[in-house]
Amino acid sequence: MSAITEKPARQGRPAVPVAPLPEHLLHGYEHFRDERLPHERERLFEMARSGQKPETMVIACCDSRVSPEVIFDCGPGEIFVVRNVANLVPPYAPDDAYHGTSAALEFAVQALKVQHIVVMGHGRCGGVHAFANKSSVALSPGDFIGKWMTLISPAAEELGEQRPDETVDAYAKRLEFQSIRTSLDNLMTFPCISTLVERGQLVLHGAYFEVATGKLHALDPDTGDFRNVIDGSAPAAIVAA
């Protein structure tokens, strides 16, 4: 384990213990520097000069298995990504609290002027499964995750109670899909988003990635069902709520 050194205290602030980067990250950077950077150098230089101009924003989960850049095979500057626990979009709430996801939405729509917003959920989402299992044990006194996951309550109300013959896993999967629909509804509570959608200048999308199989499903605007983007099939036992 690398030794931890302390940064000198500055401006009356206590020193912060800082350690060198983990070896696996350094090895990863070395591979990027030697293999990928030579091919991306010109593009990165241009983006450094002119700024980023992504056409699409993706709202995804923090889950380490679900990387939008990998799933959509995107290079630097192609998509603007915000990730949070369970890929939730809160409703519009202009108050004095801190709103990371809302700030990212505002920047993407107002400054970058993206043309598409994709809410992408995924299979075996820990946050959704904790909600479905009614796990209420706080991980810390702040219980930040517990408070954040209350955002999924409207989706659960829309979905209804777990069916008598339904396993918790099956119910959680339906809830994963419904929470995407609810997040899309919440996007429309933002005036800057709803106005552009109504003008046809911004398009909203729902997507779902199955970690176990690598299959990607998209929300069908006509039926409200999720369909495999390759063959059009629907996930087992998943129908519009």
**H/E element holding 147?**
helix 144-149
Per-residue pLDDT of 98-149, as tens digits, reads 999 999 999 999 999 999 999 999 999 999 998 998 866 778 888 898 899 9
Per-residue pLDDT of 41-50, as tens digits, reads 999 999 999 9
Given the structure tokens 């479905």, which residue do they identify?
Answer: 132
Domains present along the chain, CATH in parentheses? 22-51 (no CATH), 52-228 (3.40.1050.10)
Instruction: Tell me the CA end-to-end span of the chain in Å, nearest whole number.
Output: 50
Report residue 88 as tokens.
């939730």
Report residue 55 as tokens.
């056409």
For 156, half-sphere exposure in the C-beta direction (CA atoms, 13 angstrom radius) is 16
Per-residue pLDDT of 149-176, as tens digits, reads 999 999 999 999 999 999 999 999 999 9
- The model's pTM is 0.90
User: What is the C-alpha separation between 97 and 17, in angstroms, rounded?
Assistant: 28
